[in-house]
Structure 1
Amino acid sequence: MSQINTISSLLLAAVATPFAITAIAQETPVATELKPLEVSATRQGIAVDELAHAVTVIDREQLDSQFQTSRNLGEVLAKTVPGMAPASQTLTNFNQSLRGRNLLVLIDGVPQNTNRNISRDLMNIDPANIERIEVLRGASAVYGSGAAGGVVNIITRSNDAPNSTTLGLRSSLTKLDEDGLGYRAEQHLGGGNDSYDYGVNLAWERQGAFFDADGDRIAPEPSQGDLSDTDSLSLAGKLRWFLNGSTLTLSANHFDAEQDTDYASDPAVASLPAGSVKARPISGLKLERQSRTRNSAINLSWIANQTLLGSLDTQLYYRDYHARFSPADGRTWSTWGVLGQNFQDTETMGARVGLSTELSEASLVRWGVDVSREKSEAPIATYDGNAFDNSGGLVFINTGDRTFMPPITQDTVGTFVQLEHGFSDRLRGELGARYEYASAEFDDFTTLGQGNGIEGGEISFDDFLFNTGLVFDVTRTSELYANFSQGFELPDVGLQLRYAPSDFDITSSQLKPIKTDNYEIGTRSDWGRTQTSVAVFYSRSDLGQPTIKDFAFVQPRAKERIYGIEATLDYLISENWLLGGLVTWLEGERYDDDDQRWEALNGYRIPPVQARTYAEYTPNNHWFHRLQINYSGSRDDAFEDQVGFGSREVESYTTVDYHTRYQINQHKVSVGVENLLNENYFTVYGQLLRNNNNTSHIPASGITLMATYQYQW
């Protein structure tokens, strides 16, 4: 520990020295509320100050800064977006709700969610291919299914970004070991003229082992997968033609991340009391196919500012997706009965059309239609249980693939209309509706564990969603807004088919969609040097999420209510100093019909209090400095109510991140330190024990260094 303390002291001294904390530009969360911004996550560009919603926008400079102290997009969002649950530091965003509900992830408007929700939606794109991220917090009737908690719209890299070459190195500082080194390389090329432009992004990354605050190697997460010893490759391109007031864009994105590790999580710790010891890595893993995420998409869009019906925004897209998990020992589970490794393959084709038609100088109507077809299947690879047991959980001999989830085809059609009207220079309003129809069909199949013969069939859903909102300019620098919006979540048909009982009824209440009513009141202010925002929200639904207990469905789908408050503050002390932060508190409950009382939702749905504060210093045009403190509170509501899965007590923790960079001419050097004080802690996800034993009791990373060099040419 003496080596760790020495490194921490040196870094802290650098932070405290004025000569070491200079900056090149203001990279601040204040940009999340700047009025000139337009947000395309609302289907077409709307200025932030005209929105009756809370919204966060993270630009490219902020992303560059945050990725110096975060290993993936989930961590960046957790540190910058109010209402976002903390990240898991693994491959999954399973516990990363937005305002306690599921979020819809889009890349250039293309949905990344699948009906069989496997919670890897934030792992489908490399950071090098992101220009900015728009997060619409709260339900969106305009987008419909999947957006009950909000929308995360990822906009890919701009073609006019400077050509650049970037090299990066990451290392744990708690244990300086070759296995802990990570490497990264990026290349961006672009060009064009008045008729067209193009951009190409290539990125490769090798993530090494992760080490906790004690210098111990962190075991792989066996439930949802993790990022240690993972190679990723990203290739993306965009070609735009400018055609007489319209723009035609063809873009493609391919991202592939695959783990190749010699380590497994020791199954021996599962016999010890849950939470009493941390997960333990063991070497000698023999597994040919390890965790993987592959996402490929082609997107053709056309934007025309002037048509007979107004401005037009339309797109056609195709997406091919593959996800592979770590093997799980389900031999004692009646619904599995095997030592198996789950896969998912999904193909999606779709189209979106949006129009903005001016009715008068004060009135505008936005309307459009969305269609999609998704085909998914989930085979499972089975392995020899004796070889696994005799090797202590290290050797996996494939004994063939079987059906886990049958092929499912889901068709979805949605149409929406929204009227926006300016009642005066200070009061604006909106009123909208959406109709959504979805159908899913599958053939006869036999369940994996219990061998239940399930007859194929088809089920359909449809519903109307409504939204309304008002924005009032209290002063020239402050707005007050209020909105009501309904969210819509289609049932996870595939998950329920995996565990279908012998008397399975496709028309049962377990396959009813969840309709959510959301209410929000908020205010935004910009007084030049000070910017603030506050949002208070409440959401309710008559049907909650179906849950799994002991790998079987828990049948009741009770009423739910979630409520909370979010606040941000950014204060420019001088041209050199900027301070700010955010805080989120929320609570969620479900109604227990048996006990006739409200009980807490589990920790995967409702996070503890989250708070962030930062300080930036910018004395000249060459250096940049940022210090950020991240706090995650404690929560025992679910534990006290004993709600089952995800109900363990959660303890608080605080981490500190530090980032600095130096730029001169075309050269830029960045250094980031995550967990600067080497806090020894478990993330919320690690404390909740995803698979209910110590193999998922994953500690968080200790102090970690990231260094990057970029040349712009």
Structure 2
Amino acid sequence: MKTRFHLLNGAAAAALITGSALAQDDASDLVQLEEIVVNASRTGAVESAIPGSVQVIQGAELSERLLSGESLERVLSDLVPGFAPSNGTIGEASQTLRGRSPQILINGAPRISELRGFGRELAMINPDSIDRIEVLKTSTARFGNGATGGIINIVTKTPGDAERTDLSFGLSTGMESDSIGSELTFSHERRVGDLGLRLELSRRSMGDLYDGNGNRIPSDPLVGQGNADNYTNFTGALVLDWSAGSNTFLARLSGYSFEQDIDKFTDYTTNPVSVGSDAYTGASVKDSGRNFDLTWSNDALGIGATELNLYGSDIDRRAAFVPAGVANPLYYPISPINLAQDPNAQSELSTKSLGARLTIRTPLDSWQSGAQLTWGMDFGRDDVTQRDLAGRDLIAPMTQTSLAGFAQLDVPIGNVDLSAGVRAEKFQLTVSDFTRPDAVQLTARGPLLLPAVDVTGGDFDYDAVVGNIGAVWHVTPSFDLFAGLSQGFSVPDVGSFTRRAMPPNPLAPGQTVSFASLQPEAQIVNTAEIGLRYFGDRLQASASMFVSSSDEGTVFDSATNTVTQQKERVWGGEAIFSYAATDALKFGALLGWQEGNYDTDGDGSRESWLPNNRIPTPFTATLTAGYEFANTASLNGELVYAAGRDKAGNPVLEEMITVNIYGSYPLGRGRLQYGISNLFDRQQDNITASSVRVNPLNGDAIRVADEGRRIYAGYSLSF
């Protein structure tokens, strides 16, 4: 039993968050828009009442970029300060938020277990289904396990009041004949009495990707993750809503199927990695999922507005086959006497999740006008297995159940909004006995056999009590100051610890280790933040600074293939500006900075810089300009910059500079969309992808090229 209570600690520092500028020539014509409720807050709070950095990226802004050919993870990395640049693949390796892992939710529900996962959530979502994206940038436990860096909550579309059909079709090319990408999306919504229906279908495909020098980028540059090339992805969803009196029901059933075909193995010895000469012999990369999300709400109950959400997912994922070498120095052999790599040693992950969230917002006006207590309970269950193609367990099969209770108090006092909350959660983890297969470690002297190890499982408990406290001072109607202390927690990737199980003498056969000797500590992250927000007629700005610390930080060392936990700290700040020079001309700037260190020798002092796979770049900036013509045509440009990183103990990473343009033009009953990414076809390393792996022979990064110029054109129609 591991039970701990952590008080928030750390020095507060300063931040900026965002909005988009409203522009009108006559201030008297300005229309005050109603603030949007941020679902990621779970309390029904609007952005201006949240004591921390939060961004809401609206569907119109998203669709304009997505319909111009950008991927969802790249759009988010360009628009969200603190979110590491996209690595250009279907995975999210090293794409951290403020140097830590974000919790990705769909309508407040997780898609995959935190116990073990290939991070592909953003690549598998149909972007056409997104209404808005909420980013809460602080460690938080409002939705449970995993949000040590913050929450990315994707809110999907629901049926509208009128019948509507949307169609879009797009083509893109990297200027090579085999680099064609295509996408086709369809949605239809209508109402039948009190029942609303929405149907969503999409198909996306991509050919080869090329860098700025015209060289093809390999299909598996990140060791099993799978690149964003040579794939086909189908998605579908059915959404229903129904109201009866004060009761509202909303259901979303969705699924997807992704497959990537690889023709050549990757050569990881070149700089950057390149397409090898050997034909790929593994099975294709796959990802498929089935999800449901059911919500009942009633805002007229005596205890307050009540919401019950039931969710579930069943996801199967297959990684690419990676030959033994500098990028995969630890592999599974055919047998203890035949140390050649087993052709069946290709990983397949299966996760099944079920959960329920009960949220009640009880007004306390009799005590203090506008005060509210948000409280409730959460339940979750995860089943996780990871096997090879022959059905052999690669991690210990495990099941985890969690039960949590929480309460959040929000009290307005004059011009100040105060908030404080607490969450208590109990995890029960059942780890099955399993045998970690024979493994081979490549060394300078040749392959070294690490005999199979029997891992004894058992039942284990994790308890956590975490809290938050904060305040927003509305200095004027357009200017806010905020400060907050918050805690998040995470049970780290338990599966990775069992996959790397090593006894005291790893070379001796027939040994047994217990999971109790391997199990990771539950990570508690404390974050302090202060900042400001300004909402003017033409200028909107926000800024903040933060510091987050943990005694159980998790670091993966790709050179030694080990996962360790130690004391660590991350600090930084961000700023966002949006200015409307005229009704038609707008400018923006998004700036983010973070850095961190950790204790590598266990002496209690943080003497080493966090590795590049936690902080691939210390500074990012996106500068934007946009013009809307009288006929509603638009032209937009952006300069995206990510600073290089040169810290002792880490390979040097070079800066990235990318210029993109995009826009649309009214044509017939629809709109023509266009976009060019990497306009000047700049040859450069992808800084995030190059932070994932280190070559154990020379200590340098295994570098991956960023994609060169890609041109997109599409057409969308609504009727």
Q: TM-score, normalised by structure 1?
A: 0.87
Matched, 1:74 2:46: no
2:413 matched residue in structure 1: 423
Matches within 5 A, 1:639-650: 640=648, 642=649, 647-650=650-653
Query: Is the contact between residue 418 and residue 470 of structure 2 (CA under 8 Å) also seen in structure 1?
Result: yes
1:151 matched residue in structure 2: 151
Task: Supply the RMSD in Å over aligned alpha carbons.
Answer: 2.2
AA matched with 2:304: G
Matched, 1:598 2:607: yes
2:578 matched residue in structure 1: 570
Matches within 5 A, 1:311-460: 311-330=305-324, 333=329, 336-337=332-333, 338-339=341-342, 340-360=345-365, 361-381=369-389, 400-424=390-414, 426-448=415-437, 449=439, 450-460=451-461
1:691 is displaced (CA, Å) by 5.9
Matches within 5 A, 1:244-263: 244-263=245-264
Matches within 5 A, 1:693-704: 697-704=703-710
Query: Equivalents in 2 of 1:321, 1:231: separation in Å?
Result: 17
2:715 matched residue in structure 1: 709
SS at the partner of 2:639? strand
AA matched with 1:232: N
2:237 matched residue in structure 1: 236
2:300 matched residue in structure 1: 306
Query: Equivalents in 2 of 1:469, 1:60: separation in Å?
Result: 29
SS at the partner of 2:391? strand
Query: Equivalents in 2 of 1:28, 1:366: separation in Å?
Result: 26
Query: Is the contact between residue 218 and residue 281 of structure 1 (CA under 8 Å) also seen in structure 2?
Result: no
1:335 is displaced (CA, Å) by 6.4
SS at the partner of 1:317? strand
Matched, 1:514 2:514: no
Q: CA 1:474/1:697 → structure 2, altered by over 3 Å: closer, same or farther?
A: same
1:123 is displaced (CA, Å) by 2.5
Query: Is the contact between residue 690 and residue 701 of structure 2 (CA under 8 Å) also seen in structure 1?
Result: no
AA matched with 2:332: W
AA matched with 1:565: G
2:506 matched residue in structure 1: none
The correspondence for 1:279, drawn from 268, 274, 281, is 274
Matches within 5 A, 1:177-216: 177=177, 179-193=178-192, 195-216=194-215
Query: Is the contact between residue 285 and residue 320 of structure 2 (CA under 8 Å) also seen in structure 1?
Result: yes
Q: CA 1:686/1:34 → structure 2, altered by over 3 Å: closer, same or farther?
A: farther
Query: Is the contact between residue 28 and residue 62 of structure 1 (CA under 8 Å) also seen in structure 2?
Result: no
Q: CA 1:421/1:473 → structure 2, altered by over 3 Å: closer, same or farther?
A: same
AA matched with 1:200: L
1:356 is displaced (CA, Å) by 0.2
1:135 matched residue in structure 2: 135
Query: Equivalents in 2 of 1:623, 1:500: separation in Å?
Result: 59
1:583 matched residue in structure 2: 591
AA matched with 2:715: Y
The correspondence for 1:666, drawn from 666, 669, 674, is 669
1:241 is displaced (CA, Å) by 0.4
Bigger fraction of residues in helix: 1
Matches within 5 A, 1:619-630: 619-630=629-640
1:508 is displaced (CA, Å) by 4.0
Q: CA 1:53/1:142 → structure 2, altered by over 3 Å: closer, same or farther?
A: same
Q: Which structure 1 segments of 5+ residues have no match? A: 1-26, 382-399
Query: Equivalents in 1 of 2:19, 2:515: separation in Å?
Result: 50
SS at the partner of 1:242? strand
SS at the partner of 2:497? helix
Q: CA 1:402/1:550 → structure 2, altered by over 3 Å: closer, same or farther?
A: farther
1:490 is displaced (CA, Å) by 0.7
Query: Is the contact between residue 675 and residue 713 of structure 2 (CA under 8 Å) also seen in structure 1?
Result: yes
1:225 matched residue in structure 2: 226
Residues 42-51 or 457-466, more deviating: 42-51
1:362 is displaced (CA, Å) by 2.9
Matches within 5 A, 1:93-132: 93-114=92-113, 115-132=115-132
Q: CA 1:545/1:676 → structure 2, altered by over 3 Å: closer, same or farther?
A: same
AA matched with 2:624: Y
AA matched with 1:533: S
1:385 matched residue in structure 2: none
2:26 matched residue in structure 1: none
AA matched with 1:612: T
1:71 is displaced (CA, Å) by 4.2
Query: Equivalents in 1 of 2:703, 2:692: separation in Å?
Result: 5
Query: Equivalents in 2 of 1:691, 1:246: separation in Å?
Result: 55
Matches within 5 A, 1:675-694: 675-688=678-691, 690=693, 692=695
Query: Equivalents in 2 of 1:657, 1:549: separation in Å?
Result: 33
Cα deviation per residue 1:357-381 (whole Å; 9 max; x = unaligned)? 0011231000111111110100013
The correspondence for 2:534, drawn from 519, 525, 546, is 525
2:165 matched residue in structure 1: 163
Q: CA 1:461/1:214 → structure 2, altered by over 3 Å: closer, same or farther?
A: same
SS at the partner of 2:664? strand
AA matched with 1:322: D
Query: Equivalents in 2 of 1:54, 1:708: separation in Å?
Result: 35
Structure showing greater relative contact order (alpha-carbon pairs closer than 8 Å, 6 or more residues apart):
2
Query: Equivalents in 2 of 1:35, 1:629: separation in Å?
Result: 31
1:537 matched residue in structure 2: 546
Query: Is the contact between residue 123 and residue 293 of structure 1 (CA under 8 Å) also seen in structure 2?
Result: no
1:78 is displaced (CA, Å) by 0.2
Aligned residues: 649
Cα deviation per residue 1:14-33 (whole Å; 9 max; x = unaligned)? xxxxxxxxxxxxx98559x9
Q: Which structure 2 segments of 5+ residues have no match? A: 1-17, 23-31, 334-340, 440-450, 504-511
1:70 is displaced (CA, Å) by 5.2
Q: CA 1:40/1:30 → structure 2, altered by over 3 Å: closer, same or farther?
A: farther
Query: Equivalents in 1 of 2:60, 2:653: separation in Å?
Result: 33
1:621 is displaced (CA, Å) by 3.7
Q: Identity over the aligned pairs, expressed in percent?
A: 27
AA matched with 2:677: E
SS at the partner of 1:116? coil
1:51 matched residue in structure 2: 50
Query: Equivalents in 1 of 2:606, 2:59: separation in Å?
Result: 47
Query: Is the contact between residue 69 and residue 674 of structure 1 (CA under 8 Å) also seen in structure 2?
Result: no
SS at the partner of 2:629? coil
Q: CA 1:592/1:217 → structure 2, altered by over 3 Å: closer, same or farther?
A: closer
Query: Is the contact between residue 93 and residue 689 of structure 2 (CA under 8 Å) also seen in structure 1?
Result: no
